[in-house]
């Protein structure tokens, strides 16, 4: 039987690249070890932070195989097996399951903006090929697909999906799903701007930038809300985390210039953990003008920073 879906904090691991944009899998192991030491409950290789869109399928398989082997069952593995093509998504999903992934994270087919009916059929056809749970990666801005509550619940009732990573800025989308299923559906806060509210509503966990960048700080917030029920403590923790969230999603929310969420993430990881290199172009390294602010925020959260 497949493992149950996880509760808690999930880090989306990054993919290290060399300066020539080839994979640097030698750096992947130390990065994963650091995430585990930071007390994550799950790791998702090849989520958005894994830069799967910058890779061909064979390289995605190499990353998945290496990550699952390195993690070695110590935490839940949510393998990102997304692709526009249903056939390639099936192939990647079957590969991940065979390698030992515990569940799958799959974004809806992007660019061509299929209808909800077509997207639902996409997930059904993937589910026919695997036996481990599928999480829908609900990400409207980057896919132009909005599966509503009724669509997600139908897929869940059919057994095609086990949960959803809700990267939607409306907290009530999380609340509505949880209320409709009495909390049985695994809903995860998928963007940091709704993490506090989502966890208070009873979300199963948190998969986003903050848990992937400063996992231990994210785990403290999760525990304060979901385990201890201590909102006073949680508010104090979020007051320290929120400035990093606002910096990280500066360009994303403005659709303009500023800190790019992934440039910020990789820069932060290089400062406080084992080196993971720069993003693959077209995403560029974090500008020098933003680095002092990032350093200050990381220090405020208690991390030792390698400023050089």
How would you label 216-245 residue by residue, b for 16+ Cβ within 10 Å and e otherwise?
Answer: bbbbbbbbbbbeeeeeeebeebbebbbebb
What would the 3-class secondary structure string for 54-105 be?
A: HCCHHHHHHHHHHHHHHHCCCCEEEEECCCCCHHHHHHHHHHHHHHCCCEEE
Q: How far apart are CA 103 and CA 300, in angstroms?
A: 34
In this structure, are strands 163-166 and 186-189 parallel, antiparallel, or unpaired? parallel
Selecting among 137, 188, 222, 252, the annotated active-site residue is 137
Q: Could you give the 3-state DSSP secondary structure of residue 290?
A: coil
Residue 100: count other Cβ atoms within 10 Å of its Cβ. Answer: 16
Say how many Å lie between the first and final Cα of the chain, rounded: 48
Of the candidates 134, 70, 126, the one whose C-alpha atom is nearest the C-alpha of residue 102 is 134
Report CA-CA distances (Å) from 255 to 119, 168, 187.
26, 16, 27
Q: How wide is the angle at C-alpha 203 spanned by C-alphas 194 and 213, nearest 5°?
A: 55
Selecting among 61, 70, 165, 219, the annotated active-site residue is 165
Q: How far apart are CA 203 and CA 167, in angstroms?
A: 13
Q: Is 137 a catalytic site residue?
A: yes
Q: How far apart are CA 146 and CA 115, in angstroms?
A: 9
Which positions are annotated as active-site residues? 137, 165
């Amino acid at each position: 039987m497949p493992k149950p879906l996880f509760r808690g904090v999930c880090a989306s691991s990054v993919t290290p690249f060399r300066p020539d944009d080839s994979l640097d899998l030698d750096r992947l192991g130390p990065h994963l070890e650091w995430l585990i030491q930071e007390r994550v409950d799950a790791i998702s290789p090849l989520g958005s932070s894994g830069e799967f869109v910058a890779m061909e399928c064979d390289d995605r398989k190499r990353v998945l195989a290496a990550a699952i082997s390195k993690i070695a069952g110590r935490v839940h593995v949510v393998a990102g097996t997304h692709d526009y093509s249903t056939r390639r998504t099936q192939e990647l999903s079957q590969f991940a399951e065979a390698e030992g992934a515990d569940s799958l994270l799959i974004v809806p087919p992007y660019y061509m903006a299929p209808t909800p009916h077509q997207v639902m059929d996409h997930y059904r056809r993937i589910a026919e090929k695997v036996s481990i749970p599928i999480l829908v990666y609900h990400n409207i801005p980057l896919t132009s697909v909005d599966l509503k509550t009724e669509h997600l619940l139908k897929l869940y009732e059919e057994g095609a999906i086990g949960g959803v990573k809700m990267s939607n800025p409306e907290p009530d989308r999380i609340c509505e799903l949880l209320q409709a299923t009495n909390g049985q559906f695994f809903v995860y806060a998928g963007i940091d701007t709704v993490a506090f509210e989502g966890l208070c509503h009873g979300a199963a966990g948190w998969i986003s930038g903050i848990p992937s960048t400063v996992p231990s700080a994210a785990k403290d917030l999760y525990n304060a809300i979901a385990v201890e029920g201590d909102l006073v403590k949680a508010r104090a923790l979020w007051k320290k985390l929120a400035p990093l969230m606002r910096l990280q999603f500066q360009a994303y929310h403005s659709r303009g210039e500023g800190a790019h969420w992934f440039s910020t993430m990789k820069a932060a990881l290089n400062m406080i953990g084992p080196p993971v290199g720069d993003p693959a172009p077209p995403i560029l390294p974090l500008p020098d003008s933003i680095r002092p602010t990032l350093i200050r925020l990381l220090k405020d959260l208690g991390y030792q920073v390698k400023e050089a």
